[in-house]
Structure 1
């Protein structure tokens, strides 16, 4: 599934507002209500939003978008973010890389690096990076999630806590306007919290659709992050949060 720019913007707007009417969307994008209804139907069929009579709303705060859909959603934006991250990672670095489709793009962007030591709880990343020249990959233990091949649980956290690495690269499901970081699975959150604690530098990768999404479990705060890599400028309120927390903002070109 490939979304056009209007559909991407529509989805981002619904995620910010929570619910938006068809009439309001049609006026915003200067298209017919029939076009908006077709867009909403497409996005709902791919489990990206909830369709209602007369409008669309965000999905549940307790469940993330399906993994297959997330792989193609904001794909170009994620690649831009990944290239920006890879450009700042030196050779011979040690890294944590956690679950997520954006972090998987970071892993792809690191294919030309040498001497990397990567610790991950993401089987997709492990399978990808184990073929890179001069790259050692350590895979955490734990309970394997069928939906996205992610490892979570107490064994995962204990494994992570054995290491102190140069860079922790983490994805997130939601960044609220006050800088609160949220996700859907508390077991995944525990793993990400361990990565925050065991990394000398923490870099958060998140495209603009992650801002103001609903998610249930609190992971932490932007002030715990050294750099936020995203694809669009942030709001004035979030910019203030970043400056107060001394968190560097990188907007990928």
Structure 2
């Protein structure tokens, strides 16, 4: 387990790399006011986790066609994701029907929802099921099909069919990235189809996105921020606020 100081610094490194093609160890050391030796140690750890890659003295995030492994993502922006989860839990009342998507931010939302009684939850995430197992008087249905072992979730055709016939109160889902124009992005078409099915299953759609997602590229788009009713994020989105207000999309910064 990383110390809080190292975890915060690693979050800052990944956020900086998300907004640059690459950065040298010296540049990162200057931006974070630490020594180059400290940054080199950080980059070595992040490389071993599969979060970044090092090349010729510089570091960069994985290519847009790849996503970071689940465990490294779980460590990134942990405090921010917990705040996002608490904000989502304040929106969803006890007794509601809820679709939960995949990803570490949605897992944080599931943990926060454990205090709610009488929820009816539909999800394609095994992590979400495990997070909810102590919730009082809760009903959980899990999508079937082939398990994606790296992320412990279901994103194939069975998952799409699972959500297609549902009409729920709320849907909570994350994204692979958000373009500067507000497009919701993801890394492969199966993920896009599953997220779109979740999106269409509920009357109130909640997009959850930690700071690393804003401006992060991914190859497939499946909607825009203002298609949702609520956005919960730790990042400011000043360039997109006019469109969100015009669409009557609520933006909550945590």
SS at match of 1:111: helix
- Partners of 2:130 and 2:11 lie apart in 1 by 30
> How far does the alpha carbon of each residue in 1:94-133 deviate from its partner, in whole angstroms, 9 at most, with x for none?
0000111111111111111111110001112223324422
Matched with 2:30 is 27
SS at match of 1:17: coil
How high is the TM-score relative to the length of structure 1?
0.93
- Partners of 1:7 and 1:124 lie apart in 2 by 23
Of 199, 202, 222, 2:202 maps to 199
How high is the TM-score relative to the length of structure 2?
0.93
Matched with 1:91 is 94
SS at match of 2:231: strand
- Native 8 Å contact 1:185 1:217 kept in 2: yes
Matched with 2:167 is 164
- Native 8 Å contact 2:8 2:77 kept in 1: no
> How far does the alpha carbon of each residue in 1:27-63 deviate from its partner, in whole angstroms, 9 at most, with x for none?
2223332222222222112111111222111211111
- Partners of 2:155 and 2:23 lie apart in 1 by 35
Aligned pairs for 1:66-215 within 5 A: 66-215=69-218
- Native 8 Å contact 1:174 1:181 kept in 2: yes
Q: Residues 24 and 90 (structure 1 numbering): CA distance in 2 closer, same or farther, change over 3 Å?
A: same
- Native 8 Å contact 1:47 1:69 kept in 2: yes
Matched with 2:10 is 7
Gaps (5+ residues) in structure 2?
none
Matched with 2:245 is 243
SS at match of 2:115: coil
SS at match of 1:178: coil
Q: Residues 240 and 21 (structure 1 numbering): CA distance in 2 closer, same or farther, change over 3 Å?
A: farther
Aligned residues: 251
Gaps (5+ residues) in structure 1?
none
- Partners of 1:51 and 1:246 lie apart in 2 by 43
- Partners of 2:31 and 2:134 lie apart in 1 by 47
Structure 1 residues 242-251 or 157-166, which shifts more?
242-251
Where in structure 1 do 4 or more consecutive aligned residues deviate above 4 Å? Answer: none
